[in-house]
Chain A
Amino acid sequence: MSPETKAKSASANRLEPVDEVVVRFAGDSGDGMQLTGTQFTSTSALLGNDLATLPEFPAEIRAPQGTLAGVSAFQVRIADYDIHTPGDAPDCLVAMNPAALKKSIGDLKQNGVLIVNTDEFHDRNLKKAGYETNPLDDGSLAAYRVTQAEITTMTHRALEEMDLDSKAKNRSRNMFALGMVYYLFSRPLDTTVEWLELKFAKRPEIAEANVKVLKAGWNFCEITDQFQVRYEVEPAKLAPGVYRNIMGNSALSIGLVAASRRSGLPLFLGSYPITPASEILHELAGYKTFGVSTFQAEDEIAAMAAAIGAAFGGALAVTSTSGPGLALKSEAINLAIMTELPVIICNIQRGGPSTGLPTMTEQSDLLQAMFGRNGESPLPVIAASSPADCFDTAIEAARLAVSYMVPVILLSDGYIANGSEPWRLPKIEDLPDLRVDFRTDPEGFEPYMRDEKTLARPWAIPGTPGLEHRVGGLEKENVTGNVSYDPANHQLMTDLRAEKVARIADEIPPMSIDGPDEGKLLVLGWGSTKGAITGGAQKARAEGLEVSCAHLRYINPFPSDLGDVLSRFEHVLIPEMNMGQLALLIRARYLREVVSMTKVQGKPFFRSEIQAKIHEILGAENVH
């Protein structure tokens, strides 16, 4: 069915308003699915939708073409209301080859729209994907609304007149798919057209080819009347302000630069590349005009040690890593605890143990962050709950580090590191003032004298006359900082280091509870599960269930009212992407039974899973 033979009026199909839509673009690593998804996201953002995205990369850089291991996907959810997650199941799936179809079809909603590039459904590819029969012919896709398109063929046809090699032509077929999806969801093409023209400004023929193919995709749908129904998602009612779409690692990097500017301290990052934290190193390496120094160290130990050296010299020192790297840093983190120097340790979690699942998400480093060091070594642990929240969390980590003279662990994970959402941009003057006072007065100076309120020791940096002093990993005598093996002093210093961290609780804002302040069930979470928990609890509440939810940014110390909050609920449900680590901490700290809900499948929770669990706990009789 070529466009010529099946031309039909575009107005034949119905335009249906929907409140939200989830689209997944899936293809081979070389098919440009991330870019396609990002373009759909940008266009929707500029239409005013709320949105959330979730990319999924193959673990191998050049996985064999056409295989399941080589599938790259990008899921985006757009809505006309405030959403928290990139969605559970897609309403629309684009599968550029059999492997992509095989990997994603199980997630597609019943009666969902499936767009396939039939050109790629030949025997070799079917075999690579492990299909014995062609799913396009064997009836296995009957539950979906399938649109078969010869995307590769039509891409080449659209570019017939262009003087490009076949490879270059192939490369633009993702634009055909994007054009189709734009048509399906009634999105304008101009954002992508402008982007292409800018991106390929130096190679206008490539820009032209991509624009041609994009339009060809749209026209194909319009002329051949591919879809009985087209959808429209109205703008969301987002709070007034200026927005941009942001990924977690990017927000975190910008947050660190903001902290540097607000503190007046030069930013230093010591890091060793590791998925999914490397983007922080890449991004900060590009911020030289902000005075940011990045040091790609020989390993994670050196990265942490270098950060400590930089902190000793008066920099805002940061190290970024993922679980295996955090394990290597343990000894050096203790050195920062002992020398009472501020270092921000960003741990972007991934599936473990060992090398585990590098490209997949998990929250299983919580206990490592809390306790993965020798000796009594408490430090503040805080967690970001969404991509945009990484910005605020980074600033908060910096604030805690410099005001308490302590290393701080900031937990993020692969899900929010690579996921994106609209970020309502802050005004610079609303950002916290992080200015610090280095000690300069030699009069009465002792390296381990303490601030009355925070118990912080003075930050006295080399180069300051009269303040020469020594720090190190051996136990220090309080006040003088001399090496001390005195038993009572060790007890005192251990108490002081713990007390310093505990005092942070005094300034943590009270917990905010979504839903009633007391009642049957509280769903308590930390980190990246916030979206799914909030979404699940709100849905359940809309169904009449008595459920509230609350989220922890501070895990060490816990907010001081957490015990009280917990006591006001009959049940507490704790969903986490690990085997129950927060649940363990809550039980131990508050001697309170909780329902632990765990998932370690390399994927975030679905809102529906949380919702179902709430139903299970409260039972149908609680619906009123």
Chain B
Amino acid sequence: MSTELPVLTKKDFQSDQEVRWCPGCGDYAILSCVQTIFPQLGIPKEKFVVVSGIGCSSRFPYYMDTYGFHGIHGRAPAIASGLKATRPDLEVWIATGDGDAMSIGGNHLIHTLRRNMDVKILMFNNRIYGLTKGQYSPTSELGKVTKSTPVGSVDYPFNPLSLALGAGATFVARGVDIMQPHLRDLLTRAHAHTGSAFVEIYQNCNIFNDKAFEYMSAKQVRADQTVEVLHGEPLVFGKEKDKGIRLKGTALEVIHFADGHGPEDCLVWDETDPNPALAFMMAQLGPPDFPTPIGVMRNVALPSYDYGLVHQLEEEIESKGSGKLEDLIYSGELWTVGEGGQVTRGKAVADPG
């Protein structure tokens, strides 16, 4: 094994394929972010695999100069699971959309999270079906007018963070396409986590759902409309850092420091809390009464599925020895038919014919 890894750069992760997203699409920013952090992770380039489903966002692997798998709609977590379970040495990332992950692939998503498979899931949430040209998605807000809901949708959306937390995900975070340094930090931390990491990324689809996240990501409002969740820090937000979130009874509430409160009254975030209840409450926050939380909601250590699987194999081999095919085939109640047709029990010493 070589001790020194070649120095990798962003360019090493750019494939020769022409990027075909609409100009202005938020996917570009996410791609750039991933291409920036991959070379910094200290992993040989050939160990990366990016797996995706179907959707605009799922074109992602084609633009990464790594091993890549553009799967079928919704099934990326399942494909990635089979890969990671047999090849724990690989660094497996998933690019998926809100429709891909939460609609057709909802089943695979929750089970992958529940198993704590060591894969990193980037869910590009544009609250719309981009590739199929603009139908509402499972994260579109109630009443959304789209091609398939001309007078507004009547079904309630998923909150992706809540769904992931409910599925038992061990790493749950939210970032925004245009908040690059923050997103880079999140993705680096997702990598450092052992087990499933679920990162919801608010992504603008400027063609079918433009400005969907303007209410919280626009420069003028961002500081007041978001709260960055930081481990060990009080939940303080606002342009002037003059507001915070505290726990009152069984509910969260916004407090204004102008009213005599201070950071010491705010909830101090503990992302490692084994009880996901507070994270679940945080995930619910958002307009009109609350800022939108971003950052790492949950980060707890638990052995991953792939580790468990490999470990079982190793333990069995360790305690019983590596299986011998001959023993497997020649097991059970054997009898031997000799050249003359005589039958004896077991495997006769002189193995005939």
A240 CA to B344 CA, complexed, in Å: 11
Interface flag for B111 (CB, 8 Å): yes
Chain A binder among B272-280, B295-303, B325-333: B325-333
Interface flag for A314 (CB, 8 Å): yes
Q: Which residues of A contact B353 (CB under 8 A)?
A: 239-241
- Cross-chain contact B62 with A483 (CB below 8 angstroms): yes
Q: Which 5 residue pairs across A and B have the least CB separation, nearest first?
A: A472-B70, A306-B82, A309-B82, A48-B343, A305-B78
Query: Considering only CB atoms, which chain A residue lies closest to B15 in the complex?
Result: A470
Q: Shortest Cβ distance from B269 into chain A, in angstroms?
A: 32
- Cross-chain contact B81 with A482 (CB below 8 angstroms): no
Interface flag for B312 (CB, 8 Å): yes
Interface flag for A224 (CB, 8 Å): no
Interface flag for A437 (CB, 8 Å): no
A287 CA to B335 CA, complexed, in Å: 24
Query: Considering only CB atoms, which chain A residue lies closest to B320 in the complex?
Result: A289
Query: Considering only CB atoms, which chain A residue lies closest to B110 in the complex?
Result: A298
- Cross-chain contact A46 with B343 (CB below 8 angstroms): yes
- Cross-chain contact A463 with B82 (CB below 8 angstroms): no
Q: Which residues of A contact B68 (CB under 8 A)?
A: 468-472
Additional A-B contact list (16), CB under 8 Å, known A254-B329, A425-B334: A239-B337, A245-B332, A270-B82, A301-B75, A302-B78, A305-B72, A308-B79, A312-B49, A312-B79, A313-B83, A332-B72, A425-B330, A463-B46, A463-B47, A469-B68, A470-B62
Cross-chain contact of A332 among B15, B54, B75 (Cβ < 8 A): B75
- 17 pairs across A/B with beta carbons < 8 Å? A241-B336, A242-B336, A258-B329, A268-B85, A291-B313, A302-B75, A302-B108, A306-B82, A310-B83, A314-B86, A428-B325, A463-B87, A464-B46, A467-B67, A470-B62, A473-B71, A474-B70
**Which B residues between 332 and 353 are near A, CB-CB below 8 angstroms?**
332-339, 341, 343, 345, 347-348, 351-353
**Which A residues between 469 and 491 are near B, CB-CB below 8 angstroms?**
469-474, 482-483
Q: Which residues of A contact B82 (CB under 8 A)?
A: 268, 270, 295, 305-311, 313, 317
> For chain A, what secondary structure do more than half of its interface residues adopt (helix, strand, loop), or is it mixed?
mixed
- Cross-chain contact B329 with A426 (CB below 8 angstroms): yes
- Cross-chain contact A468 with B46 (CB below 8 angstroms): yes
A473 CA to B61 CA, complexed, in Å: 12
Q: Which residues of A contact B61 (CB under 8 A)?
A: 470, 472
Q: Which residues of B contact A299 (CB under 8 A)?
A: 107
- Cross-chain contact B79 with A462 (CB below 8 angstroms): no
Cross-chain contact of A241 among B72, B328, B331, B352 (Cβ < 8 A): B352
Query: Considering only CB atoms, which chain A residue lies closest to B58 in the complex?
Result: A472
A288 CA to B309 CA, complexed, in Å: 10
Query: Considering only CB atoms, which chain A residue lies closest to B87 in the complex?
Result: A313
Interface flag for B256 (CB, 8 Å): no
Cross-chain contact of A42 among B90, B111, B333 (Cβ < 8 A): B333
A303 CA to B48 CA, complexed, in Å: 23
- Cross-chain contact B85 with A310 (CB below 8 angstroms): yes
Task: Show the binding face of A for B, using Cβ within 8 Å.
Answer: 42, 45-48, 191, 235, 237-246, 254, 257-258, 261, 266, 268, 270, 287-293, 295, 297-299, 301-303, 305-315, 317, 331-332, 335, 339, 425-428, 462-474, 482-483
**Which B residues between 75 and 113 are near A, CB-CB below 8 angstroms?**
75, 77-87, 89-90, 107-108, 111
Q: Which residues of A contact B107 (CB under 8 A)?
A: 298-299, 302
Q: Which residues of A contact B66 (CB under 8 A)?
A: 468
A425 CA to B78 CA, complexed, in Å: 37
Query: Considering only CB atoms, which chain B residue lies closest to A49 in the complex?
Result: B343
- Cross-chain contact A306 with B337 (CB below 8 angstroms): no
Q: Which residues of A contact B3 (CB under 8 A)?
A: none
- Cross-chain contact B79 with A305 (CB below 8 angstroms): yes
- Cross-chain contact A306 with B79 (CB below 8 angstroms): yes
- Cross-chain contact B334 with A244 (CB below 8 angstroms): yes
Interface flag for B41 (CB, 8 Å): no
Cross-chain contact of A261 among B87, B313, B325 (Cβ < 8 A): B325
- Cross-chain contact A473 with B70 (CB below 8 angstroms): yes
Cross-chain contact of B69 among A243, A331, A426, A472 (Cβ < 8 A): A472
Interface flag for B210 (CB, 8 Å): no
- Cross-chain contact A257 with B328 (CB below 8 angstroms): yes
Q: Which residues of B contact A305 (CB under 8 A)?
A: 71-72, 75, 78-79, 81-82, 108
- Cross-chain contact B337 with A238 (CB below 8 angstroms): yes
Q: Which residues of B contact A268 (CB under 8 A)?
A: 82, 85-86
Q: Which residues of B contact A482 (CB under 8 A)?
A: 17
A465 CA to B12 CA, complexed, in Å: 13
Q: Shortest Cβ distance from A83 into chain B, in angstroms?
A: 15
Query: Considering only CB atoms, which chain A residue lies closest to B348 in the complex?
Result: A242
Cross-chain contact of B341 among A42, A237, A254, A425 (Cβ < 8 A): A237
Cross-chain contact of A240 among B89, B333, B338 (Cβ < 8 A): B338
Q: Which residues of B contact A467 (CB under 8 A)?
A: 46, 67
Query: Considering only CB atoms, which chain A residue lies closest to B332 in the complex?
Result: A244
Cross-chain contact of A309 among B81, B331, B348 (Cβ < 8 A): B81
Q: Which residues of A contact B90 (CB under 8 A)?
A: 313, 462-463
- Cross-chain contact B70 with A470 (CB below 8 angstroms): yes
Q: Which residues of A contact B62 (CB under 8 A)?
A: 470, 472, 483
A308 CA to B53 CA, complexed, in Å: 13
- Cross-chain contact B78 with A462 (CB below 8 angstroms): no
A47 CA to B341 CA, complexed, in Å: 11
Q: Shortest Cβ distance from A476 into chain B, in angstroms?
A: 10
Q: Which residues of B contact A425 (CB under 8 A)?
A: 329-330, 334
- Cross-chain contact A331 with B72 (CB below 8 angstroms): yes
A307 CA to B75 CA, complexed, in Å: 12
Q: Which residues of B contact A241 (CB under 8 A)?
A: 336-337, 352-353
A54 CA to B68 CA, complexed, in Å: 47
Q: Which residues of B contact A290 (CB under 8 A)?
A: 322-323, 325, 328
Q: Which residues of A contact B79 (CB under 8 A)?
A: 305-306, 308-309, 312
Q: Shortest Cβ distance from B238 into chain A, in angstroms?
A: 43
Q: Which residues of A contact B86 (CB under 8 A)?
A: 266, 268, 293, 309-310, 313-315
Q: Which residues of B contact A257 (CB under 8 A)?
A: 323, 325, 328
Interface flag for B249 (CB, 8 Å): no
Query: Considering only CB atoms, which chain B residue lies closest to A191 in the complex?
Result: B333
- Cross-chain contact A289 with B337 (CB below 8 angstroms): no
Q: Shortest Cβ distance from B172 into chain A, in angstroms?
A: 20
Interface flag for B317 (CB, 8 Å): yes
A472 CA to B351 CA, complexed, in Å: 50
- Cross-chain contact A240 with B337 (CB below 8 angstroms): yes
Query: Considering only CB atoms, which chain B residue lies closest to A309 in the complex?
Result: B82
A305 CA to B79 CA, complexed, in Å: 5
Q: Shortest Cβ distance from A253 into chain B, in angstroms?
A: 10
Query: Considering only CB atoms, which chain A residue lies closest to B76 in the complex?
Result: A305
Interface flag for B45 (CB, 8 Å): yes
Q: Shortest Cβ distance from A261 into chain B, in angstroms?
A: 5
Query: Considering only CB atoms, which chain B residue lies closest to A265 in the complex?
Result: B86
Query: Considering only CB atoms, which chain A residue lies closest to B309 in the complex?
Result: A293
Q: Shortest Cβ distance from B108 into chain A, in angstroms?
A: 5
Interface flag for B31 (CB, 8 Å): no
**A295, A314, A339 — most chain B CB neighbours (10 Å):** A295
